[in-house]
Amino acid sequence: MPAALVACSGKRRRRTATTHAAGDSSSWASLAEDLVSLIGWRVLAGDVRDYICFRAACHHWRSCTASPCGCGVVDPRFHPRRWMMLPEGNGLYPGHGKLRGFVRFFNLSTGAFVRLKLPIVRDHRILDSVDGILLLQRNRDTAVRLLHPFTGDIVDFPPLDTLLPYMGRRSEEYLRDVAAASITSSADDQAVLLMIWLFRTVRVAFAASGDKQWRVSSWSMYQAYTPLPFQGKLYILDQATAYGGPEVLQIDPPLQLQLEGTTELSLPPPKSIAKCPARTPDSFFLYHLVECDSDILLVTFGVSVYAQISVYRLADLISGTTVPDQGTFIVSKGEQGMADETEVGIDGGK
């Protein structure tokens, strides 16, 4: 075949391929709005970052789906639940000069890493992570802020130094020791409620977004430990005696009460929902609450020479079943901080 025909044939093939590609792109971009919206919600059910990438594909898809920007914190559908901030190690921390404002995040479901630039960490301290939302304390005035790392949305709360009257003679350093925090949000009224339990305190602090100061619970807990936030509630173990099994206490979110035309917050007292397996002088072990997907698990660690680990589902304990779950296994026990303290998996072969 003459060279001219070969060149012409090659140009025709490239033109045809380009035409097909343009046609395919056009067909995807012209999907019906309700279909794009349905696909978007399915993507969001898997991961909010995938949803953000889905909306970035084209203008049509973006216009057919709800934007997470501006409501990333107040709307729980957009919370990055399976993402955690990755500790850097080697003396590095968020805001360290060598990191240049970058923070790495790790997806617990897919193992994916994402490196984000968050300049806000230069003058804020990260206290905790709740459902992937970062709990920050501003350095200059101890103000608490919730930050969505992928949308940049921020919700402001009162300064923690308003809790100093309840801390006795303790310094502001104790205000940074967050044992657990829980978020309750609603896209309908754009309100965010936050509960914080600080180490070395016997009361739970709570506030609504936009409040000027924190409130504290009217009740106290002196023997409570291993708090776990889960679906807007706090779960805590309460050990009243050296032996026997502790109780699992559930603390519901603050209630918004309408009093004389104003809205007041009130924190319900903790309620006992389950009894843990008892320990004896011959079988002494420690208790720990952990989250596994949509379940709360109770993990017991033996402290004898022949240490044993047992795992119970909280739902089983509530129903009165105290037999360890044989389909659950411990994967690892990591550092305390932004990473989960204990990773637990479900054996699919059960």
pLDDT at 147 over 50: yes
Which of 203, 202, 201, 181 shows the shortest CA–CA distance to 192?
181
Query: How buried is 270 (Cβ within 10 angstroms: 0-12 exposed, 13-18 middle, 19+ buried)?
Result: buried
Q: DSSP label at 89?
A: B
- Tell me the domain boundaries of the chain: 86-216
> Residue 223's Cα: distance from chain center in Å?
26
Q: What is the pLDDT of residue 90?
A: 66
Q: What is the pLDDT of residue 341?
A: 41
Q: DSSP label at 87?
A: P
Q: What is the pLDDT of residue 108?
A: 87
Q: What is the mean pLDDT of residues 17-37?
A: 71
- Supply the mean pLDDT for the chain: 81
Which residues neighbour 333 within 8 Å (Cβ) at sequence distance 6 or greater? 341, 342, 343
pLDDT at 305 over 90: no
Q: What is the pLDDT of residue 285?
A: 78
d(CA 144, CA 335): 24
Q: Which CA distances in Å does 250 have to 4, 224, 247, 290, 320? A: 80, 11, 10, 14, 17
Which residues neighbour 330 within 8 Å (Cβ) at sequence distance 6 or greater? 299, 309, 311, 342, 343, 344
Res. 277 pLDDT band, cuts 50 70 90: confident
Res. 225 pLDDT band, cuts 50 70 90: confident
Most confident of 61-75, 170-184, 187-201: 61-75
Packing angle of the helix pair 48-55, 33-46 (nearest 10 deg): 150
Res. 207 pLDDT band, cuts 50 70 90: very high
pLDDT at 99 over 50: yes
Two tokens at 331?
């994967």
Provide the sign of the torsion angle of the four alpha carbons 53, 54, 57, 62, taken in this order.
Answer: negative
Which run of H or of E encompasses 13?
A: helix 3-29
Query: How buried is 157 (Cβ within 10 angstroms: 0-12 exposed, 13-18 middle, 19+ buried)?
Result: buried
pLDDT at 10 over 60: no
Residue 138: other Cβ atoms inside 10 A: 16
Two tokens at 322?
């105290």
Long-range pairs of 53-61 with CB within 8 A, sequence gap ≥ 24? 57/28, 58/28, 58/29, 60/29, 60/30, 60/31, 60/36, 61/29, 61/31, 61/36
